[in-house]
Structure 1
Amino acid sequence: MKNTNTPFAKPFTPKQIQRRIQHLPACLFLCLITSFLLSNCAEEEPQRKELHILTINDMHASIDQFPKLAFLIDSLRNHYPDLLVCSAGDNQTGNPVNDRDSISGMPMITLMNAVGFDLSVVGNHEFDQGTKAFAQRIKAARFPFICANMFPPDSLNLDVQPYCSLTTKEGLRIRILGLLQLNSRGKPSTNPDSVSRITFRSPYALAREYRSLKDSCDIYLALTHLGYEEDQQLADTMKDAPFDVIMGGHSHTLVKEPKIIRSSLITQAGSDLHYASLIHLIWEKDKPLSRTAEVLSIDQVSGTDPKIQERIDKMNRNPFLNEILAQNKDTFPSEEQLGYFMADAKKFATGADIAVQCFGGVRLTHFNSETFKRKDIYSLDPFDNPLVLFELSPEELTNFLEEAYQRNWQHPTFTSGISIHYDKQKDPEKPVITYQVTNKKVRKKKRYTVVLSKYVADTYRFTHQDSGKVLPVKSTEAIVEYLKSKKLIPSYKNVRRFTTTP
């Protein structure tokens, strides 16, 4: 492994030993062999061996939590000197201090190196800033990235291995397989342009192909970025060669009481560095492997690492990101109100009849500040997608809204220019969708201009005769323009642009 701080070391092979001693004097050679044989006779293999793992997932560049995380890791390593620290993916995207660094995402790698991460699986948001930036981060990391179901061409310089092999000081042989989620189009959920040159295959198929790894180790682990339900499906897929533990991410699920499901212990620890999972594995000869896990609250860690805190403070002193763009008349209590605000900004900046902001693109759960700073906008919308303008008929718009409802986990779409009604009486999972254009009647023959993010335009499957026009404005630029124009943002607290039946 790249990380020189790792508590694991591979033993020398017989050939390596032979090469190292072939030039030694004969008497010294005999002393070495005698010492080796005596030590082997005197020391029996331990009957009980332990492995302790701290797993964290979906950190999303939550750099302000690293002083507490560093303190936690140091404290745990006082109890478990051989502690293995793993990330289950999505280290990136969520804090502009990290995302908009001169080498995008490098602050997170610097911090992960500093606190002693040993391993990371590739998450879908590792690709958000493009493969060139990802390759630079991989090179700078003092820990490896793993993923078995991605196949990049050599020209991209993405040094990602399918799995990791480790041997503990006690002699435990560990194999860790990495797996990444794919959407309905067979790609990870990121900007499609960022992964256009990479081949991906089903994580379940690849897990089956690597099942022989289980025969070559004492403990077989999966480090995944699939989602909690998908991890259960993975456990189902691997019944004949089960993972001892599946350490998961992607769905942001907080598994408070990890359980063994279909022969595998499955863990996941929420998101944004609020929690971590501490896994305890005890191997005893001729006994089943003991597997337990507990959830630790990083928020409640009482101490901080002062050196890491000093680094974070320096990163946060950024005049450009701290620029105040507008005042707020009120707070934003939820994603819904923030979504309407984002849609209004897109409509304002493009002059479209209708603007759409899908639930998954709103990356803050609430906003209570009296001002909007530039860094707040980049946190709310870290993806900064180009905007695409379509001309859609009423039927095409309905089809899009149906697709958006399903793609956003059956969550209503945030809009500007229309209000939507979801009738769930016949089928709650596939409601009948109708809408009203603001202050206008829907006209069957009219084609409405609708602005979407390029990610939505490229990945959602909906009927449209118009191929769309990519505009020379990105989503965050639209929001900044809206803020600077308004200067005082009105209250969205009581705004609601959809209704449901029942």
Structure 2
Amino acid sequence: MPRLVHHSDVENVFDTPERAARLAGRIRELDGPDALVVGSGDTTAPGVLSLVASGRQAVDFHVATDTALETFGNHEFDHGPGALRELLERSPATYVSANVRDEDGERFGAAEGVVPHAVREIDGSRVGFVGVTDPATDSLNPMAASLSFSDPIAAVEAELEAMRAAADPPDHLVVLSHLGGGDDDLARALDVDAILGGHVHSPRNEHVDGTLLVRPGVNGAAVAEVELFADRRPTATLRERSDADPHSDLRNALERRMANTGLDETVATLDEPMSRTDEVVHGGECRVGNFVADAFRWALSADVGLTNAGGLRSGDPIAGRVTRADLVSLIPFEEPVVRAEVTGRELRSILAEMAAPTVDFGEDDWWHGHVSNARVVWDADAETLRDATVDGRAIDPEATYTVATSEYLLHSDQEFPTLRERHRAGEGGIQYEVLWRYAAERGIDPTIDGRIRVLNGSNEEADAERPAEEPSTVSDRGPRL
């Protein structure tokens, strides 16, 4: 009986070497002669180590875990196609990708060994794999804008047909997917045994139209052990990493990389831990969201500060001695804060889009933005913006307002689609550098002050308005996905 050991969205697990070492230890423990280790993307980035090592810490991980096959997540492209090609040449894993095309329309990474499908023999059975990536990646990630991403269902179907037509077709068919919400469509359209997914950060383990759909969650909190059977549907078990014996070689390699970052300077102290789990940053107003939005507005002297919740990376609470590395880990993207000029009418649309995103990588009830110097009242049942003010005054639809936000939001049409490149009116520093300067000058002491109110049908505040922050609880769950 063949088994698959599946990891995905490990992202900033590397920024805590002990945590990454335990993940690798769990994977090695589950591996064996009847198993194959596979990944479904966002192994390379984001994170502090990813930023300073251009993703090369993922090679350390692939070596330590003996990962055989991997596919591209949207964050594999964080450092650009050129850096990713160099990483492909270094990695012992074979990347499987059916729908990513390079600048010339050819299969991305073909010269570096990327294949559209692969067949491996595992415990006497032949297992065929296809890899696929979210077709919105060129919008989600500005560094992937020169690439193209074809329809995932058509791309996977073409590779399945090729494997089925082979002289010795596979006994099992598996998709390594970084589609997020698109996995359900894939399962309903195609006849495969399992879709090993990622992109959405919440764990999943269920069958859809007879196909096993699995996600292990984010930051290496767990891996999925998948069993493939000849006479019945496959099954999966999510295995947590917490009590695994750490992989000492990986821990040592990552510790050496962290020691060379030069980011251990203290910029501020924080008495009350600031949580940044998915439940917090996507649950409504929160301290970490207020801190970032305040810093953005301060840096560009804007009327409003705005950050997308998905840009705040999950991880351990920020507390005590706050270093440069801590704030890089919060927003590990080498993109500037920009000033946008919008009309009041556009600003109201932007504020409404905090609750009504077009993304398919989140959960239905997620809140997607945080603001500074603005207050928002959202009617969750009617799905409408009940009220919005800036600096305590009603928004004038004909007036012009400045908004300090991430450059990413001008590029992406997946979040805050009202904001476009044409609104750009200025540019500040790199986002994490803005956080450094703000923390050093103003400190870090954000409070919950009613910037976001979510109303239910009886006009009472919904529980989502102020999610409980549990400073003593460390969680790895947690987008920008």
TM-score, structure 1 normalization: 0.79
1:469 aligns with 2:425: yes
Gaps of 5+ in 1: 1-49
Structure 2: distance between partners of 1:465 and 1:119: 37
Q: How do 1:11-90 and structure 2 match up within 5 A?
A: 50-63=1-14, 64=17, 65-77=19-31, 80-90=32-42
Match of 2:102 in 1: 152
Helix, strand or coil: the match of 1:126?
helix
**Contact 2:52–2:261 (8 Å) recurs in 1:** no
CA distance in 1, matches of 2:353, 2:58: 35
User: Counterparts in 2 of 1:35-434, with a 5 A limit?
Assistant: 50-63=1-14, 64=17, 65-77=19-31, 80-101=32-53, 104-153=54-103, 157=109, 159=112, 160-168=114-122, 170=124, 172-183=125-136, 187-188=137-138, 190-192=140-142, 194-212=143-161, 213-215=163-165, 216-227=169-180, 229-238=181-190, 242-255=191-204, 258-283=205-230, 288-289=231-232, 291-301=234-244, 303-318=245-260, 320-333=262-275, 334-335=280-281, 336-364=286-314, 367-407=317-357, 411=367, 413-425=369-381, 427=382, 430-434=383-387
The 2-side partners of 1:411 and 1:74 are apart by 37
Counterpart of 2:404 in structure 1: which amino acid?
A: V
User: What secondary structure is seen at the aligned counterpart in 2 of 1:370?
Assistant: strand
Contact 1:125/1:190 (<8 A) preserved: no
Offset, 1:67: 2.0
Deviation sequence 1:83-123 (CA, Å, 0-9, x none): 2000111113243123212xx01012122123211110110
For 2:378 and 2:403, locate their aligned partners in 1 and report how far apart those are by CA, in whole Å: 20
Partner of 1:10: none
What CA distance in whole angstroms lies between the structure 2 residues aligned with 1:123 and 1:444?
39
Deviates more, 1:376-385 or 1:308-317: 308-317
Q: CA deviation at 1:243?
A: 0.7
Distance in 1 (alpha carbons) for counterparts of 2:368 and 2:12:
27
Aligned partners of 1:91 and 1:126 also within 8 Å: yes
Return the alpha-carbon distance in structure 1 between the equivalents of residues 426 and 95 of structure 2. 34
**CA deviation after TM superposition for structure 1 residue 480, in Å:** 1.3
Q: Call closer, same or farther: CA 1:181–1:319 in 2, change over 3 Å.
A: closer
Residue 323 of structure 1: how far off its partner (Å):
0.9
Opposite residue 141 of structure 1, the aligned amino acid is: S
Looking at structure 2, the residues matched to 148 and 396 of structure 1 have their Cα atoms a distance apart, in angstroms, of 39
Distance 1:130-1:464 versus aligned 2 partners, 3 A rule: closer
Contact kept, 8 Å, 2:345 with 2:398, in 1: the verdict is no
Alignment match of 2:389 (pick from 417, 420, 436): 436
Equivalent position of 2:473 in the other structure: none
Shift of 1:368: 4.0
Contact 2:409-2:420 at 8 Å conserved across structures: no
Give SS of 1:147's match. coil
Identity percentage of aligned residues: 22
Counterparts of 1:81 and 1:419, CA distance in 2? 58
- Distance in 2, matches of 1:310 and 1:366, equals 21
Query: How big is the alpha-carbon RMSD for the aligned residues of Structure 1 and Structure 2?
Result: 2.4
Is the Cα contact below 8 Å between 2:73 and 2:133 reproduced in 1? yes
One-letter code aligned to 1:310? N
Distance 1:349 1:198 in 2: 32
Q: CA deviation at 1:319?
A: 6.1
Contact 1:337 1:495 in 2 (8 A): no
Distance 1:214 1:245 in 2: 16
> Which structure has the higher relative contact order (CA within 8 Å, separation 6+)?
2
- Tell me which residue corresponds to 2:409: 456
**314-323 vs 367-376, greater mean Cα deviation:** 314-323
Amino acid at match of 1:53: L
Alpha carbons of structure 1 residues 339 and 384: separation in structure 2 relative to 1, 3 Å: farther
Counterpart of 1:22 in structure 2 is none
Cα contact 1:330–1:493 (8 A) shared by 2: no
Distance 1:290 1:346, change over 3 A: closer
**Could you tell me which of 444, 454, 457 is aligned with 1:489?**
444
Aligned to 1:43: none
Q: Within 1, Cα distance between the matches of 2:248 and 2:328? A: 27
- Write out per-residue CA displacement over residues 37-61 of structure 1, whole angstroms, 9 at most, x where no aligned residue: xxxxxxxxxxxxx211100110004
Q: 367-376 or 148-157, which moves further after superposition?
A: 148-157
| Corresponding residue for residue 26 of structure 1 | none
For residue 189 of structure 1, report the CA deviation from its aligned partner. 5.4
After superposition, the Cα gap between the structure-2 partners of 1:165 and 1:493, relative to the gap in structure 1 and judged at 3 Å, is same
Q: CA deviation at 1:472?
A: 4.2
Is contact 1:329–1:489 with CA below 8 Å preserved after alignment?
no
Distance 2:420 2:147 in 1: 28
Q: Distance in 2 between matches of 1:73 and 1:211?
A: 28
| Alpha-carbon displacement from aligned partner over 1:25-82 (angstroms, at most 9, x marks no partner) | xxxxxxxxxxxxxxxxxxxxxxxxx2111001100041233322333333334xx324
| Max Rg structure | 1
Letter in 2 for 1:469: A
Contact map agreement 1:279 1:292 (CA 8 A) in 2 = yes
- 1:466 Cα offset (Å): 5.3
Q: Distance in 2 between matches of 1:470 and 1:444?
A: 22
- Between the two proteins, the alignment pairs up a number of residues equal to 428
SS of residue paired to 1:448: strand
Judged with a 3 Å threshold, the aligned counterparts in structure 2 of structure 1 residues 73 and 468 are, in CA distance, closer, same or farther, namely: closer
**CA distance 1:431–1:164, change in 2 (3 Å):** same
TM-aligned CA deviation for residue 404 of structure 1? 3.6
Provide Cα deviations, 1:201-231, integer angstroms capped at 9, x if missing partner: 111121232331245221111111112x421
> Does the CA contact (< 8 Å) of 2:328 and 2:432 recur in 1?
yes
8 Å CA contact 2:60–2:253 kept in 1: the answer is: no
Aligned partners of 2:369 and 2:30: how far apart in 1? 44
Distance verdict in 2 for CA 1:494–1:462, change over 3 Å? closer
- The change in CA–CA distance for 1:353 and 1:165 in structure 2 (over 3 A counts) is same
Which amino acid is 1:181 matched to?
Answer: D
Give the CA deviation at 1:364.
2.8
Q: Is the 8 A contact 2:117 2:159 kept in 1?
A: no
Residue identity in the other structure for 2:402: T
Specify whether residues 412 and 259 from structure 1 end up closer, same or farther in structure 2 by C-alpha distance, changes over 3 A only: closer
TM, length-normalised to structure 2: 0.83
Deviation at 1:434, TM superposition (A): 2.5
